Amino acid sequence: MGSTGSVSAWEEALLIALVQYPVPVIKGPEDIQTQVDQICRAVDSTKAGYPDLDVIVFPEYSTQGLNTSIWTYDEMLLTVESPEITRFKEACKRNDIWGVFSLMERNEDPSLPPYNTAIIINADGEIALHYRKLQPWVPIEPWSPGNFGMPVCDGPKGSRLAVCICHDGMFPELAREAAYKGANVYIRISGYSTQVNDQWIWTNRTNAWHNLMYTISVNLAGYDNVFYYFGEGTVCNYDGNVIQQGHRNPWEIVTAELFPRLVDKARENWALENNIFNLGCRAYVGKPGGEKANYLTWVRDLAAGEYKLPWDNKVRIRDGWKYYPDGVKLGPMPK
């Protein structure tokens, strides 16, 4: 279920807005301040246009851009305590709204690459969820692998929120982890160019259906003089059908009403469709209570740190040598 205009919502409806943010062209730290100004203005204006709005979502890289030649230098990085993040907090509190924002986060260990991070800020201006990308896009993204797992937080209107970043959404295991921990709304923020446009739609739909949860996903939009980013904010129902679909327009705002309680009721009452429940108690018709023993080799091997594909020794691209022949550059920017 989703409304067409979504200017207002009734008391059980979670009204969400996905901002197809124009891809930033970032050349230095001063350009980051321009994006922060623009994002905060967008929070103010979107809330003014949609007074009942509960959650606003901005794409990956909307704050610091995708300039691979400078994006790991100290001046280009933020922390969750940075003044820029304080401004996001103030914008959420000022507008009584929850917000999802992207940042490239300085590693606690300065000798290691930074994290690709998403935060959810609540309507009180507090960080409700802090997530670090678990599956950076190889072989290009030089980020440290996330070390916070897949956190879930209570959100407005009965929602339980989790967030993944871009390529994370291509891994059904991560969507399953979020659902297993109780998420009924799975947020995906991305900076994909058009090479994976179709796969974007497929995975948003399958992540919803396999786990009986809403998926709300938004991508950068526009041209950065190298790639075109396709926008196409997508809202999927817990049955896998698309509720709302954006186009390729920068600044397009995709809105929808969601009903988290319906997800909860489907999970409690469906049988054939209850994939996430049936996984853990197979064949409960033929065997009372179902079979609970692990039958998945890859799950056992991953848990033991022994995950290895039969064709592992034939996998050619195993590092980012082509893009970073001298390694990832850390520290201050060259003068």
Q: In this predicted structure, what is the pLDDT of residue 21?
A: 98
pLDDT at 183 over 70: yes
Provide φ and ψ at 163, rounded to 5°: -135, 140
Catalytically active residues, by annotation? 60, 133, 166
List, in order of start, the domains of the chain with CATH numbers: 14-314 (3.60.110.10)
Is 235 in contact with 216 (CB distance < 8 Å)? Answer: yes
Average pLDDT over residues 101-114: 97
Average pLDDT over residues 162-176: 98
Q: Average per-residue pLDDT in the chain?
A: 95
Record the pTM. 0.96
pLDDT in tens, 227-250: 999 999 999 999 999 999 999 999
pLDDT interval class at 6 (50, 70, 90)? low
Q: In this predicted structure, what is the pLDDT of residue 1?
A: 41
pLDDT in tens, 118-155: 999 999 999 999 999 999 998 889 999 999 999 999 99
Q: How far is CA 66 from CA 76, 195, 215, in A?
A: 11, 16, 25
pLDDT at 326 over 70: yes
pLDDT at 37 over 60: yes
pLDDT in tens, 275-290: 999 999 999 999 999 9
Average pLDDT over residues 87-98: 98
